[in-house]
């Protein structure tokens, strides 16, 4: 499972020149992954072929259009559950504390809730714990897969594999809440700039003592998206 998570992490990362050139090696490594069904391996191989088969600029442009300029497809997990809420900053502090407690150091430019980074973290955890933590994001993964399938995007396959690796099934109510969020117009750059300016998030300082483990992460990942002035919902345990 850990190898599969690492491979999906690479496939969902921004296709830099180095990563783009390595797609044949990424594809070759899929065949040796234990614990994946043949159909799941085919999904990952297809994605690796697709990304590697595009010109570098085209692969990068598509990635930005999908995941950076379309908020409903954002690969930042807390974007989907906290939105503009001030809770998002604290949630990232807590997630960063989890990484550091397990010896994972990240670049200061990286946001802790970036899905490829989260998957890289899970790839160093014991299999059962990784599956449990991944399962806590199940509603986000399923909502992203469904949105990508509607776009007939090859990236949907990576999320189907993650759903299969996660422990438990996604909560239908939470999935429905996420899918109720309207899609943005990724071609409206002025509107997008306004959104990001309004939602600039910082995170630093105290991570809230010892209450920054998996249980707290679960509560943070299950919170529904809300406005900054909206009352916080009761925790769903």
Q: Is residue 229 part of a domain?
A: no
Q: Is residue 52 part of a domain?
A: yes
- CA separation (Å) from 111 to 28, 93, 203? 29, 10, 9
**pTM metric for this prediction:** 0.80
Q: Is residue 189 part of a domain?
A: yes
Q: Is the pLDDT of residue 127 over 80?
A: yes
Q: Is residue 234 part of a domain?
A: no
Q: Is residue 71 part of a domain?
A: yes
- CA separation (Å) from 231 to 20, 86, 218, 225, 227? 44, 12, 19, 11, 8
State the residue range of the domain holding 162.
2-222
Given this model, what pLDDT does residue 227 score?
35
- CA separation (Å) from 195 to 15, 83, 175, 198? 25, 11, 23, 5
Given this model, what pLDDT does residue 47 score?
98
Residues 133-172: tens digit of each pLDDT: 999 999 999 999 999 999 999 999 999 999 999 998 999 9
Residue 18 is encoded by which pair of tokens? Answer: 């180095």
Given this model, what pLDDT does residue 221 score?
56
Q: Is residue 230 part of a domain?
A: no
Q: Is residue 206 part of a domain?
A: yes
Q: Is residue 233 part of a domain?
A: no
Domain count, the chain: 1
Residue among 3, 20, 137 at smallest CA distance from 79:
137
As a whole number, the mean pLDDT across the chain is 81
Q: Is the pLDDT of residue 43 over 70?
A: yes
Residue 149 is encoded by which pair of tokens? Answer: 């399938």
Q: Is the pLDDT of residue 219 over 60?
A: no
User: 80 in helix, strand or coil?
Assistant: helix
Residues 165-212: tens digit of each pLDDT: 999 899 999 999 899 877 766 555 555 555 445 444 444 444 444 454
User: 114 in helix, strand or coil?
Assistant: strand
Do residues 127 and 1 touch, judged by C-beta distance below 8 A?
yes
Q: Is the pLDDT of residue 114 over 70?
A: yes
């Amino acid at each position: 499972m850990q190898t599969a998570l690492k491979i999906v992490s690479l496939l969902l990362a921004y296709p830099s020149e180095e990563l783009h050139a390595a797609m044949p090696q990424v594809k070759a490594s899929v065949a040796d992954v234990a614990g994946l069904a043949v159909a799941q391996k085919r999904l990952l191989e297809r994605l690796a072929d697709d990304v590697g088969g595009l010109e570098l600029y085209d692969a990068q442009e598509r990635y930005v259009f999908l995941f950076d300029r379309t908020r409903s497809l954002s690969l930042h997990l807390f974007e989907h559950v906290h939105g503009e809420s001030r809770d998002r900053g604290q949630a990232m502090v807590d997630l960063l504390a989890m990484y550091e407690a397990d010896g994972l150091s990240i670049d200061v430019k990286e946001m802790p809730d970036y899905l490829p980074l989260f998957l890289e973290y899970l790839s160093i955890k014991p299999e059962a714990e990784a599956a449990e933590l991944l399962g806590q994001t199940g509603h986000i993964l399923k909502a992203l897969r469904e949105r990508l399938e509607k776009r007939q995007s090859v990236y949907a396959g990576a999320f189907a594999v993650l759903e299969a690796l996660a422990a438990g099934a996604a909560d239908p109510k939470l999935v429905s809440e996420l899918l109720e969020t309207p899609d943005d117009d990724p071609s409206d750059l002025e509107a997008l700039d306004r959104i990001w300016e309004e939602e600039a998030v910082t995170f630093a300082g105290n991570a809230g003592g010892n209450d920054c483990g998996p249980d707290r992460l679960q509560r943070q990942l299950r919170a529904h998206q809300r406005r900054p002035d909206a009352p916080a919902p009761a925790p769903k345990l």
